[in-house]
Amino acid sequence: MTDKKQPIDTRVHLEVEPEINRYFKAAIKSQASDLHLKVGHPLKLRVNDDIKDTTTEALTGETIQKLVFEILSEQQKQFFLENGSLDFAYEVGQAERFRVNIFRQRSKISLSARRIISKIPPLETLHLPAAIKAIADKSYEGLVLVTGPSRCGKSTTIAAMIDYINQTRSCHIITIEDPLEFTFIDKKAIVSQREIGIDVKDYADALNSLTRQDPDVVLIGEIRDKDTLAAAIRAAETGELVFGTLLSTNAVQTIQRIIDIFPQDERALARQTFSNNLCAIISQFLVPGAKKDISRVPAVEILIANPIIKNLIAEGRENDINGIIRTSLSEGMQNFTESLKSQVEIELIDLKMALQYAPSVEELKMALKGIMTRG
């Protein structure tokens, strides 16, 4: 049985362009965010959040296997056959990258791929609150978590924050990702990017060697388990600014999920350690934009770990945190209601759309009372 931590070499060199590229190119041409290959169906593309059929032929199991195996190394094929799933990055030409997962379902091979937009957008173009730039500033140390559902722009937000640091601070930035998404070019900072399976065996090895690499800023692609979280906190304890992502909807849920990662008998200490090293939690989701040239706009909740917040986390009083966020706008904090209100006021989000996406419709109605009356 192959060790699941075995390095997977994703660099496959082919003299003839792989047949599967025509599917990736269709996704690029259609400005799709994701593509899906499944037996019995044509190519499906996710465009503006909706999965759409294409006019390509329905795919057979033999066709998908041939398409996929052509771009895999022998080591990758063996890993997939033994484990039933494989993640890797794939390049089409020199400018387009995809994050690919192949998996078995009902004994047949399927493929899902997320298009990686290689150009890192400046922070000021993402319609994010000003506090996001402040969090990325060198005056902050500790753990910064960017959370939200899939396809909510977490990776783009972090990449923009990292590139802002790259432009403004003389430091060493290390990213640890599986796979690499955005490619950074050294500016004022030195940026070292390590891809799991190519540059380092696994997250554990990458994180354990961090202290010998003199980092100032660390990006962990995704906090997946206790070991990854513990290593991220250790890095934060030594004075680094550490970024990570998590699939959770808001700050309170994020804190609860972090604590739940640890066994019951370790949670009291985990609360104390996590609260001491937390810098901020940024949670976001995307809302359809009101302007033709802006398809989606982020609604953002920001928690800044001030002494009050740290005490509440340490004492297990997460339910009191929302009240602190609501009354701490001057510190850069905001909840989703305040975010949606702000985006409506500057006409980036339509009022009806904001109400549709609001976590609390009544709370947003009260916040927007003046605007709704004028409307």
pLDDT digits (tens, 9 = 90+) for 96-132: 889 899 999 999 999 999 998 778 999 999 999 999 9
Residue pair 219/189 in contact (Cβ under 8 Å)? The answer is no
Q: Which pLDDT value is given to residue 180?
A: 81
What pLDDT was estimated at residue 331? 93
Q: Kindly state whether residues 245 and 293 are assigned to the same domain.
A: yes
Mean pLDDT of 331-335: 95
Query: Is 197 found in the same domain as 272?
Result: yes
CA quadruple 305, 204, 206, 237: dihedral, nearest 10: 30
Same domain, 139 and 55: no
130/218 same-domain check: yes
Residue 250 identity (one-letter amino acid): N
Whether 373 is covered by a domain: the verdict is no
Looking at every residue in the chain, the average pLDDT score rounds to 90
Provide, rounded to the nearest whole percent, the portion of the chain with pLDDT above 90.
Answer: 72
Q: Is the pLDDT of residue 175 over 80?
A: yes
Return the percentage of the chain with pLDDT > 70, whole number: 94
* Least confident residue range of 157-166, 201-210, 271-280, 337-346: 201-210
Answer with the one of 100, 116, 132 that is the final residue of a domain.
116
- Structural domain tally of the chain? 2
pLDDT digits (tens, 9 = 90+) for 274-288: 999 999 999 999 999
Residue 146, domain CATH: 3.40.50.300
pLDDT at 374 over 70: no
pLDDT given for residue 89 in this prediction:
83
Same domain, 138 and 30: no
Chain centroid to Cα 110, Å, comes to 23
Convert the chain into a string of H (helix), E (strand) and C (coil): CCCCCCCCCCCCCCCCCCCCHHHHHHHHHCCCCEEEECECCCCEEEECCEEEECCCCCECHHHHHHHHHCCCCHHHHHHHHHHCEEEEEEEECCCEEEEEEEEEECCEEEEEEEEECCCCCCHHHCCCCHHHHHHHCCCCCEEEEEECCCCCCHHHHHHHHHHHHHHHCCCEEEEEECCCCCCCCCCCCEEEEEEECCCECCHHHHHHCHHHHCCCEEEECCCCCHHHHHHHHHHHHCCCEEEEEECCCCHHHHHHHHHHCCCHHHHHHHHHHHHHHEEEEEEEEEEEEEECCEEEEEEEEEEECCHHHHHHHHCCCHHHHHHHHHCCHHHCCECHHHHHHHHHHCCCCCHHHHHHHCCCHHHHHHHCHHHHHHC
Average pLDDT for 331-353: 96
First to last CA, the chain: 65
Whole-angstrom distance, CA of residue 26 vs CA of residue 296: 22
pLDDT on residue 139: 62
**Residue 54 has what pLDDT?**
94
| Shared domain check, 242 and 132 | yes
Is the confidence at residue 307, as pLDDT, over 80? yes
Classify residue 355: in a domain, yes or no. no
Same-domain status, 102 and 154: no
When pLDDT is averaged across residues 308-337 and rounded to a whole number, the result is: 95
pLDDT tens digits, 55-80:
999 999 999 999 999 999 999 999 99
Residue 373: per-residue pLDDT: 47
Regarding whether 201 and 83 lie in a shared domain, the answer is no
- The confidence band for 14, taking pLDDT boundaries of 50, 70 and 90, is low
Are 49 and 143 contained in the same domain? no
- Max avg pLDDT among 209-223, 232-246, 248-262: 248-262
Higher pLDDT residue, 232 or 109? 109
Ramachandran bin of 368, using left for φ above 0, alpha for ψ from -120 to 50, beta for the remaining angles: alpha
Residue 13 pLDDT exceeds 60: no
Q: Indicate whether 155 and 98 sit together in one domain.
A: no
In terms of residue numbers, what domain contains 181?
123-334
179 and 314 fall within a common domain: yes
- Same domain for 103 and 191, yes or no, is no
CATH of the domain at 100: 3.30.450.90
